[in-house]
Amino acid sequence: MTGVVNKMIGVVNKRYTSVSEILRDTCDDESFCDEFDAYVAARLIIRELIVWRVVLGLSLDDIAERMGWSRDLVVGFENSVDADLRIEDVRFYLDALRDR
């Protein structure tokens, strides 16, 4: 238990630039850390789209309405990985972001 506490104290006193960095400092399971990094890397486009949606103050319902999709379909799109994206869906989402 003392080792975990010491790790957590180190996290509090250190400046991190990513969740991955924190995870690697606090988790002993290297394969889990690798899987996490792969998952993050597989969602770079999706993450950017979500960030822009949030920055513009748009909810999932707003985007769904603008796209003519159901909220569930937008949630599924935002929860996918980049490799599963269809370029026409990305363009449609981008158009919905611009539709102000």
- CATH of residue 50: 1.10.260
Quick one: pLDDT at residue 70? 97
Same domain, 19 and 56: no
Cα–chain center distance at 37 = 12
Quick one: pLDDT at residue 10? 62
- How far, CA to CA in Å, does 58 sit from each of 3, 27, 44, 68, 90? 43, 35, 19, 15, 16
99 close to 61: Cβ distance less than 8 angstroms? no
Same domain, 59 and 81: yes
pLDDT < 70 positions in the chain? 1-11, 100
Specify the number of domains making up the chain: 2
99 close to 66: Cβ distance less than 8 angstroms? yes
For 76-90, b/e burial (b = at least 16 CB within 10 A) is ebbebeeeebeeeee
pTM as predicted:
0.73
Same domain, 36 and 49: no
33 close to 40: Cβ distance less than 8 angstroms? no
Same domain, 65 and 85: yes
Range of the domain at 18: 2-41
Quick one: pLDDT at residue 87? 96
Same domain, 30 and 57: no
Same domain, 24 and 61: no
DSSP 84: G
Quick one: pLDDT at residue 32? 94
Same domain, 93 and 76: yes
